[in-house]
């Protein structure tokens, strides 16, 4: 049997602090600014739901036009974040909404034998 190494109180405190620090970092990165997300959704919808890779280059042109026509009202910091987002960040930001708009299934009809038995099939072998 392997003996587990014993941790001192300082080691436990250090590990706990490290875990808390990582959780805080994740929380900061995972919770996007709601105004930023809303602006990204508006741009995404106006641009016909493009993928992030196609949408990112057009943000520089689209955002000023939308602001000029009153479709978007952004603070300078949100505007700067929106224009500097990468394609991958846009995809992550819009992932939930993209999944929500997916078509769930094509059909619920299952193949059955009733229809198969009613269709006569010609075979080369005589009966």
Distance of CA 78 to the CA centre of its chain: 19
Higher-confidence residue of 125 and 94: namely: 94
The pLDDT of residue 109:
67
C-beta neighbour count of 32 within 10 angstroms:
15
Nearest 5°: CA angle at 63, between 40 and 50?
50
Residue pLDDT, tens place only, 67-107: 999 988 998 988 999 999 999 999 998 998 888 888 777 66
Asked if 74 contacts 65 with a C-beta cutoff of 8 angstroms, the reply is no
Token pair listed for 50: 């493009």
Residue pLDDT, tens place only, 53-75: 999 999 999 999 999 999 889 98
């Amino acid at each position: 049997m392997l003996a587990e190494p014993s941790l001192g109180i300082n080691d436990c405190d250090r590990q706990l602090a490290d875990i808390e620090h990582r959780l805080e970092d994740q929380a900061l990165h995972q919770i996007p600014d709601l105004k930023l997300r809303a602006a990204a959704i508006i741009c995404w919808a106006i641009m016909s739901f493009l993928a992030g890779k196609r949408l990112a280059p057009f943000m520089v042109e689209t955002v000023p036009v939308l602001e000029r026509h009153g479709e978007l009202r952004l603070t300078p910091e949100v505007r700067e974040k929106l224009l500097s987002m990468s394609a991958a960040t846009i995809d992550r930001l819009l992932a939930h909404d993209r999944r929500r708009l997916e078509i769930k299934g094509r059909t619920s009809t299952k193949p059955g034998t009733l229809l198969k038995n009613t269709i006569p099939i010609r075979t080369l072998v005589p009966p």
